[in-house]
Each structure stands twice: as structure tokens, then as C-alpha cells.
């Protein structure tokens, strides 16, 4: 059975939200319990929808140019472990310094030019992260030589193996492990789930025996299987499922822009 609205799914368990407002009180492998809790915390369907994102339509995603993949990879690499606001404020200068992130242009930069970029005060001067840019440019160019574009490569990867796609980014890209690769895909509109602390809390409440910071192959396979189960049950995108999980646990912010 496919649920066509939040209410269609949540009405199956709606009474529980008044009896057990703690996430630990639900049988969470049934996604209707998670959705009911998210609706309760956010104050109904209209409010919850403000927190939900959907992936881009396939045709629109396929139009994403290679330079936007490289730009977003770089943004996520530089944001990791740093103040995001600083990266956002400096981003126009990043675009200028890195020649609009055209992979072929980046691949032609000499060591002296890269040294100059690593010392440029207009960006965050982290040499290791600067050097990830030409490496990821080479990664994109290699994939493009085989698939025609990086977007085509990402699009053809099976949705029920998102973990496998993330592992490919980690193995073949530079500094795209952890949450950087998945975050890049989310930013660009690929259907995806994001393993934030709130989503992990929700997954553990659903009965998964996984680590607080799941990185093992076994844990990641369990997570993929759970999302596949929920997607089959609800007809929702991975992105929507992930966002609802985040809304069902953790700190209950009153505004999606908080």
C-alpha cells in the first residue's frame, strides 16, 4: 500500500502520539509510528511539510553540469569541521579563485598556481582541502569519459544502494567520506538519506543495533535495508524519509531555518 499524504500514513498510529510522546515508546520499524511522532512534534502536516525536501526530478538532475558537482564537493569539503557561515560568506570568492570550478580548467593548474591558491586570503587557506579540488576534478573527468557526465553516472546508480554510491565517492574522490559525499548529493538534489545524529537516533529506535557513529559495512547495510523497507512501505523518497526521521527525534527546533 502506498501512502499519498502524511495524514494517510500517520492516521494508522495517530492515537499513539498522545499515549507515548517519547520516541523510545514506539514500535519504530513501522514508519507510521515515526511519522506520527514527527507530526506531533511539529504540530501537524502543514508545519511538518516546511521541513521536508524532495529530490530533483530526474530530467532536471541530469542537466546538472560537472562544474556544479565540483563546486558542491569543494563546499562540503571546506565546511567539514569548520564554521559553515564563513564558507558561505566567502563562496563568491571561492568561485572566482577556482575558475568557476570547471574540472578541465582545474586539471590544467600547475603546482605553482595551486600553491598560490592555497595562500589566497580570499578563501579559507587550508592546503590539504585546496588540493582536494584538482583530485576531485580528475575524478569527475574520469567518470565523464565513461558515462558522458557526472550527473549521468550518479543517476544510473540504483536508489536501493545509496550506501554503495557513498562508498564509491569515498574510495575514488578526495575527502568525500563521512557526511561530505552524502551532503553533496543532497545539496544537488539526488535522492538520498543523511546520517545525522537525529536520523541515527531514529534508526536505533526502530530496532537497528548500530553504532552511534555507524561506519562499518554491517551497520551501513542494516541502515540501507531499513530505508529500503520504509520506502517500499510508504512510497516516499529517501530524502523525505530521512527528513521525517530527523523531525521525529533530537532537539525540536521551532523553525526549519533555525
- Residue 165: its pLDDT value, please? 98
What pLDDT is stored for residue 28 in this prediction? 55
Q: Which of the following CATH numbers is that of domain 59-187: 1.10.340.30, 1.10.10.10, 3.40.1280.10, 3.30.70.260?
A: 1.10.340.30
Q: Which of 203, 241, 223, 194 is nearest to 76 (CA)?
A: 194
The SS3 call for residue 248 is coil
Mean pLDDT of 80-88: 94
pLDDT of 110 over the 70 cut: yes
130-140: average pLDDT: 98
Q: Enumerate the CATH 1.10.340.30 domain ranges in the chain, comma separated.
A: 59-187
Q: What proportion of the chain, given as a percentage, has pLDDT over 70?
A: 88
Q: On the CB side of 93, how many CA atoms lie within 13 Å of its CA?
A: 12
Q: Residues 21-65: pLDDT tens digits?
A: 445 545 556 899 999 999 999 999 999 999 998 999 999 999 999
Burial class (CB in 10 A: 0-12, 13-18, 19+), 94: buried
The confidence score (pLDDT) of residue 255 equals 77
30-42 as b/e: b if 16+ CB within 10 A: bbbbbbbbbbbbb
Mean pLDDT of the chain: 90
pLDDT of residue 54: 96
C-alpha cell at 88: 558561505
Give this prediction's pTM.
0.88
Confidence of residue 257 (pLDDT cuts 50, 70, 90): low
Whether residue 70 is predicted with pLDDT greater than 90 in this model: the reply is: yes
Whether residue 6 contacts residue 48, with contact meaning beta carbons closer than 8 Å, is answered with: yes
Is the pLDDT assigned to residue 17 strictly greater than 50? Answer: no
The pLDDT of 224-240, averaged and rounded, is 97
Split at pLDDT 50, 70, 90, the class of 251 is confident
What is the C-alpha separation between 14 and 10, in angstroms, rounded?
6
Tally Cβ neighbours within 10 Å of residue 257. 5
Q: Band the pLDDT of 256: cuts 50, 70, 90.
A: confident
CA angle (161 as vertex; 159, 165 as ends), nearest 5: 95
Tell me the H-state helices in 84-149: 84-97, 103-107, 111-118, 127-147
Q: Is the pLDDT of residue 157 over 90?
A: yes
The DSSP symbol for 35 reads H
Q: In this predicted structure, what is the pLDDT of residue 105?
A: 98
Amino acid at each position: 500500500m502506498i501512502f499519498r499524504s502524511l495524514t494517510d500514513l500517520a492516521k494508522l498510529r495517530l492515537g499513539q502520539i498522545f499515549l507515548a510522546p517519547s520516541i523510545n515508546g514506539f514500535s519504530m520499524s513501522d514508519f507510521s509510528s515515526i511519522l506520527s511522532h514527527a507530526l506531533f512534534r511539529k504540530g501537524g502536516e502543514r508545519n511538518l511539510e516546511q521541513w521536508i525536501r524532495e529530490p530533483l526530478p530526474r530530467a532536471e538532475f541530469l542537466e546538472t553540469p560537472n562544474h556544479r558537482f565540483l563546486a558542491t564537493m569543494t563546499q562540503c569539503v571546506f565546511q567539514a569541521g569548520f564554521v559553515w557561515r564563513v564558507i558561505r560568506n566567502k563562496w563568491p570568492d571561492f568561485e572566482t579563485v577556482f575558475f568557476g570550478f570547471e574540472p578541465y580548467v582545474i586539471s590544467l593548474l600547475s603546482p605553482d598556481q595551486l600553491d598560490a591558491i592555497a595562500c589566497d586570503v580570499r578563501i579559507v587557506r587550508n592546503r590539504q582541502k585546496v588540493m582536494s579540488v584538482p583530485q576531485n576534478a580528475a575524478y569527475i573527468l574520469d567518470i565523464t569519459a565513461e558515462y558522458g557526465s557526472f550527473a549521468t553516472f550518479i543517476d544510473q546508480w540504483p536508489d536501493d544502494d545509496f550506501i554503495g554510491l557513498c562508498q564509491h565517492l569515498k574510495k575514488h574522490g578526495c575527502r568525500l567520506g563521512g557526511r561530505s559525499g552524502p551532503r553533496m548529493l543532497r545539496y544537488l538534489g539526488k535522492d538520498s538519506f543523511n546520517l545525522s545524529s537525529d536520523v541515527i537516533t531514529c534508526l536505533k529506535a526502530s530496532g537497528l543495533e548500530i553504532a552511534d557513529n555507524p561506519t562499518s559495512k554491517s551497520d551501513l547495510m542494516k541502515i540501507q535495508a531499513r530505508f529500503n523497507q520504509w520506502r517500499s512501505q510508504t512510497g516516499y523518497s529517501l530524502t523525505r524519509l530521512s527528513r521525517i526521521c530527523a523531525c521525529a527525534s533530537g532537539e525540536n527546533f521551532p523553525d526549519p531555518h533555525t
